[in-house]
Every structure is written in C-alpha cells, then in structure tokens.
Amino acid sequence: GQQLNQSPQSMFIQEGEDVSMNCTSSSIFNTWLWYKQEPGEGPVLLIALYKAGELTSNGRLTAQFGITRKDSFLNISASIPSDVGIYFCAGRNSGGSNYKLTFGKGTLLTVNP
Amino acid sequence: EAGVAQSPRYKIIEKRQSVAFWCNPISGHATLYWYQQILGQGPKLLIQFQNNGVVDDSQLPKDRFSAERLKGVDSTLKIQPAKLEDSAVYLCASSFVRTGNYGYTFGSGTRLTVV
C-alpha cells in the first residue's frame, strides 16, 4: 500500500521560533491535508491542498503541495505554547470508489515557553 | 454545529472479550469512516460507509471486526473476540460529500485497552 514518510518524528523548540515539517510519498496524491491532534482528541483539519504547487496559509500556518505531487510541507511561524501537539500529513487519491486518507506517523511538536 | 459524537471515551477489556463502539456523525454527513490509531502512529482506515452502504472495508479484520450503519446515520463498530494488539484509539469521522473535499471531521475517539 501507499506509504507516507513524515519528518521529523519530533521537535522541541523555543516559543517564537519557526517550525518546518514535511511529508513524502512513494506515490502520487491528488490531495494533501494537514491535521493537528491534541491529547485525548481527534485530529483537526488545519489546511487542505488540492493542486500541485499550491501554497496555502491559515494564520501562522503555511502549507505547500509539492509539484511532483509526492510531497508536502507545513511551516508554522512564530510558534506559541498552544501549538503543542501532533501534526499529521494525509494524502488522498480520487481514483476508484473511495477517497480514503493515508496518514503519516506524525510529528510531535513541543514548544518551550 | 454539533461535532461527531463517540462513546464510550474509554474501555478496558480482557482479551477474548467483545466490545462495541458507537458513533453519531454530524447531521447531514453521508459518509462515515472508522479509523484505528495505534499509539505512535497515524490513523488507519478500517471501514468507510456511504449512507448505509460499505464503500471500503479492505483493511477491516473481518474475522473479528464488524461494523454497521443502519438507516445511514449512526454506526457501531464491534470487536469479537478482542486481542491484545487491538489496543488503540478508535476514531470515527464523517464528511459532507463522498470526496471529503473539506477534510473529515473526527470525533474524540474511544481509547480501548485490551489486557
């Protein structure tokens, strides 16, 4: 099946620093999604990307859909303590009869105040 | 708008016992998904429903897992008998359209511990 490699696995940063994480795939995706998951909660959608090369921002978050359609990255600028959580990338294809998401293993972000 | 409701939040059972989880999706969402999230990993799709029909259950261990979505609204996921490796968070999600173009909305999950 499709594999997503997400890196880094974890990050420990100081408040105010910028953060960058990325996701690569062994195959092409038509959609890339970035989610954040906090302890005891389900993942919450942050940004959705639908076209190769697309660059989309949501507040301090910026994500890009790689032009090869096999990768995506997420940047967080000027991190704050509430950015703590696990960030997941997810890819989706629209072929066949379903549109299931394939998730990466996540990046655990810790922000030191 | 109410979110995706799941119950129970936590469940501890012994191996070989059975367990059931319940999910009520966002009103009007035709597509419902059950995901399994093992500690330290991303969610993995178990089954996808479109209304009350199964779209994808290719990764559902059918010898022990079953799911139904009667009347195309709420859904139940059952494990019988449970194994130690079934310990995980079981997430339910729903989307408005089949393509889920606006991403899924996830519930808070049920944390299952099999001892």
| pLDDT for residue B64 | 97
Per-residue pLDDT, averaged over A68-76, amounts to: 96
- For residues B89 and B109, is the Cβ–Cβ distance under 8 A? yes
- Give the mutation candidate from B4, B24, B59, B106 for the A interface (greatest A CB count, under 10 A): B106
Cβ within 8 Å, pair B107-A42: yes
Query: Is A9 an 8 Å CB contact of chain B?
Result: no
For A87, counting Cβ atoms within 10 Å of its Cβ (0-12 exposed, 13-18 middle, 19+ buried), the class is buried
DSSP states along B86-106: G-EEEEEEEESSTT-TT--EE
Task: Give pLDDT, residue A1.
Answer: 56
pLDDT at residue B107 tops 90: yes
Q: Encode pLDDT of A94-105 as tens digits.
A: 655 566 789 999
Asked if the Cβ–Cβ distance from B100 to A92 is below 8 Å, we say yes
What does the pLDDT look like over B40-90, one tens digit per residue?
999 999 999 998 899 899 999 999 999 999 888 999 999 999 999 999 999
* Average pLDDT of the residues of chain B: 92
Which of A2-6, A8-12, B52-56 comes out lowest in average pLDDT? Answer: A2-6
Confidence of residue A79 (pLDDT cuts 50, 70, 90): very high
Q: What are the chain A neighbours of B33 within 8 Å (beta carbons)?
A: 100
How many residues can be counted in chain B? 115
What is the CA B17 to chain-centroid distance, rounded?
18
Residue in chain B nearest A90 by alpha carbon: B42
Whether B98 has a pLDDT exceeding 90, the answer reads no
Give residue B99's pLDDT.
58
Nearest to A100 among B40, B48, B103 (CB): B48
pLDDT in tens, A28-65: 998 999 999 999 999 999 999 999 999 999 999 999 99
Confidence category of residue A27, pLDDT binned at 50, 70, 90: confident
Query: What is the Cα–Cα distance from B43 to B86, expressed in whole angstroms?
Result: 13
Average pLDDT over residues A85-113: 86
Residue A27, token pair as written in the block: 């195959």
* Average pLDDT, rounded, for chain A: 92
**CA-to-CA separations, A103 to A29, A88, B35, in angstroms, rounded:** 12, 7, 11
Average pLDDT value for residue range A79-93: 94
Q: How many whole angstroms separate alpha carbon A92 and alpha carbon A6?
A: 15
Residue A40: which of B98, B105, B108 has the nearest Cβ?
A: B108
| Chain B residues with CB-CB distance to A31 below 8 A | 101
Cβ-count burial of A54 within 10 angstroms (0-12 exposed, 13-18 middle, 19+ buried)? Answer: middle
Cβ-nearest to B45 among A94, A101, A106: A101
Q: Please give the interface size between A and B, counted as residue pairs whose CB atoms are below 8 Å apart.
A: 60
